[in-house]
A = this chain, B = another copy of it.
Amino acid sequence: MEPKTKVCIFEDNRHLRESLELLLQVSDGFECVGAYANCNDLLEVISENDAAICLMDIEMPGINGIEATKIIKSKFPKIHVLIQTVFSNDDSIFQAICAGASGYLLKTTPPELYVEALRDIQSGGAPMTPSIAKRVLQLFKVNLQPTSDATYQLTDKEKQVLQQLTLGKSYKMIADELQISLETIKTHMKNIYTKLHVHSGPEAVAKAIQERLV
């Protein structure tokens, strides 16, 4: 029989914690090596129980699940953390991702999907409910999109020059790179400044990067 994957549980609700424990016991391929109501002795317990995956509630007294995830990932980067929570607000999703969570389930997820999610993690995936995935995409897009792009009506050459500038090149280097005269670069820069309504290189770079013009 193949070795079972060790899972430990952090969940303050006793009823749920015990249900999850039971679920793991009856599952194929997983075993519960610990179930805790809080993260007070976090590092000790996970270095003792040698878990490969932690099932982590967010809302807990003391150290919350996000903090716990950060701690775990900083000390044991290989351990996967599967976040489970009743809430699905953008901020906690965002923070969980940044903390290094491998997946994110809502507590409304039916038990059989918990086991499936654990399997997904084992095979390198990042299970999340579609509603969470939706929010991640939205977060992703706001962080990515504003790209007014067309707004400024930069020509191709102007975009090229701006692109080079954001790489930290000087006028001279850009001229060299694009095989055109330094004077032409100056002309392009003047036009770029006019179109972007800026008055210096740093300002142009800041605007270009922040609005993803390049």
* Interface, chain A (partner B; CB < 8 A): 97-98, 102-103, 117, 120-121, 123-131, 133-134, 136-137, 139-141, 143-145, 165-170, 198-207, 209-210
Contacts and interface: CB of A to CB of B under 8 A. Distances in A.
Given A125-B129, A126-B130, A167-B206, 11 more contacts: A123-B130, A127-B130, A166-B202, A167-B203, A168-B199, A168-B206, A201-B201, A202-B204, A202-B205, A206-B209, A209-B209
Instruction: State how many copies of this chain the complex holds.
Output: 2
Contacts of A126: 130-131, 133-134, 136-137
Contacts of A133: 103, 125-128, 133, 136
A56 to B, nearest CB: 16
B136 A137 contact: yes
Contact of A165 (B165, B198, B202): B202
Contact of A205 (B134, B136, B206): B206
A206 B202 CA distance: 8
Contacts of A130: 103, 117, 120-121, 123, 125-128
Given A144-B98, A209-B209, A124 B128 contact: no
Most chain B CB within a 10 A radius of its CB, from A129, A140, A202: A202
8 contacts: A127-B133, A128-B130, A136-B136, A168-B200, A168-B207, A205-B205, A205-B209, A209-B210
A108 to B, nearest CB: 12
Contacts of A145: 98
Contact of A201 (B102, B123, B202): B202
A97 B202 contact: no
Contacts of A169: 203
